[in-house]
Structure 1
Amino acid sequence: MTDVKRVRRSGLVSQVAEQLREEIRSGRWSVGTRIPTEPELAELTGTGRNTVREAVQGLVHAGLLERRQGSGTYVVGTSDVGITLARFFATSYSRDVLELRTALDLTAAELAARRRTDDDIAMLRARLDERAAQWEAERWDDAVTADVALHRGIVEASHNAVYLEFYDSLLPTIEDVITQHVAATHRGFHGDHAALVEAVAAGDPVAAVAAARSLFDELWGDL
């Protein structure tokens, strides 16, 4: 917490809140972390406890922090926008989510093929193998988790931080939709997923988009 800066005397609450947001955004306070106490935050920021209390409460209302009686205050989210989107997506219809996901995944596939690194390629191939192993073992919950991880990996390989944060806000809903599909069909579309990963690895954006489109055509066919 030595990176927290002392703030100016104007707009103290908003300045302290922004300092706390930066701790969360930077990953210094990850989800599940208990943040320092109000007296500690007051000392670190050079402000009063009332100012700190108001700033913390604002982030509680925003969905980034959660007060737990007798335990402290914990990080429960990383983005105000992400929290809002996640709540909205949670009430959306499966078809609406799939339409949005189709657009997102096709663009991510193209960007990933253009920008992927050697580390990205190794990560995607490892996640593809893990996905296939879970499917073969018929561990369906783990198979869904592995499937989500692979698709998120494609977005990671796009190297667009805003894109990734938006996609992460959609992940719980994506996982619910995939779980329903797997329970109903047990279809894995392994060839399509392998083709997508190899097109990204080859740095071929046209083939990557085609592979992603083929995969979603299959998914739409099951609706």
Structure 2
Amino acid sequence: MSDSGRKVDTVAATIEEAIASGLWPVGSKLPPETALVDELGVARNTMREAVRALAHAGVLSVRHGGGVYVTAASPVEGLLGRRLARGDVLDVLSLRRGLEVEAARLAAQRRTPEDLARIHAAWNAHPDHAGSSGTTEAVMALHLSIVEASHNSALIDVYRGVLAAVSDSLSAVSIGPGFHVGEHRPLIAAIEERNPDEAARAAGAALDTVIDAIERSLS
């Protein structure tokens, strides 16, 4: 690899690390090119190549005239999300179900008091706990908090890559008024009680509710 190629890889890795650290979260806009060039002490062409590589990986989105935005927390998340966006909604949800079942099982075994606090915060912000229909964003926040409680970094990375595709898929499908995202109380209780088998069963049941409703809407 040439020196210029190594410099591009180094700059790209630095940007990835900043994103992973939360300095530039998903949805945020990167500083202007001139500021990044000055901060990292690299040539403008090197910076542009690094941004181009991360955009190709699905981590960044270049909006001509509008700046550069973070679209994924890692290349794994970006590429997986891009691939799944082309998939059938039921196929994507089946994948999500498998991930969430295993994540719930692990969360029941590994959760910490801090994990439970995050799960409850997401649950309390979720309109479904009061019996009303929830939004896609609220559903994702609650389920992501449970997946993160698994403390399995590989599973978390893959799940994050699934989130965007799931959100887009659900937005494109009419599931009718009054649709509920499943009963989450048994799932949260099982995680609190450190009951991995019941947590896995409850996670599967919650996703089955979503899958069944979409199957009916498509029939």
Report the equivalent of 2:88.
93
Secondary structure of 1:66's match?
Answer: strand
Contact kept in structure 1, 2:59 and 2:75, CA below 8 Å:
yes
Pair 1:55-2:50 in alignment:
yes
Structure number with greater CO (CA < 8 Å, separation at least 6) is 2
Q: Percent identity?
A: 36
Secondary structure of 1:74's match?
Answer: strand
Report the equivalent of 1:46.
41
Instruction: Give the partner amino acid of 1:117.
Output: T
Alignment partners' CA distance in 1, 2:168 and 2:68: 29
Report the equivalent of 2:202.
211
Secondary structure of 1:128's match?
Answer: helix
1:177-222, Cα deviation, whole Å (9 max, x unpaired): 55647427724533xx211110001111122122223334555555
Contact kept in structure 2, 1:42 and 1:48, CA below 8 Å:
yes
Aligned length: 211
Report the equivalent of 1:26.
21
How far apart are 1:43 and its partner, in Å?
3.4
**Please, what TM-score do these two structures have when normalized by structure 2?**
0.78
Structure exhibiting the larger radius of gyration computed from Cα positions: 1
Q: Return closer, same or farther for 1:135/1:94 CA change in 2, 3 Å cut-off.
A: farther
Pair 1:200-2:191 in alignment:
yes
Report the equivalent of 2:179.
186
Matches within 5 A, 1:89-168: 89-133=84-128, 136=131, 138=132, 140=133, 142-168=134-160
Alignment partners' CA distance in 2, 1:187 and 1:76: 28
Root-mean-square deviation (CA), in Å?
A: 3.0
The unaligned stretches of length 5 or more in structure 2 are none
Contact kept in structure 1, 2:26 and 2:71, CA below 8 Å:
yes
1:58-79, Cα deviation, whole Å (9 max, x unpaired): 2233333334444543333322
Secondary structure of 2:42's match?
Answer: coil
Secondary structure of 2:86's match?
Answer: coil
How far apart are 1:13 and its partner, in Å?
2.2
Contact kept in structure 2, 1:128 and 1:194, CA below 8 Å:
no
**Please, what TM-score do these two structures have when normalized by structure 1?**
0.77
The unaligned stretches of length 5 or more in structure 1 are 1-7
Q: Which moved more, 1:67-76 or 1:148-157?
A: 67-76
Secondary structure of 2:176's match?
Answer: helix
1:151-198, Cα deviation, whole Å (9 max, x unpaired): 1121011122332221122113323555647427724533xx211110
Report the equivalent of 1:4.
none
Contact kept in structure 2, 1:82 and 1:165, CA below 8 Å:
yes
Pair 1:77-2:86 in alignment:
no
Q: Return closer, same or farther for 1:181/1:135 CA change in 2, 3 Å cut-off.
A: farther
1:3-29, Cα deviation, whole Å (9 max, x unpaired): xxxxx8882222222222222222222
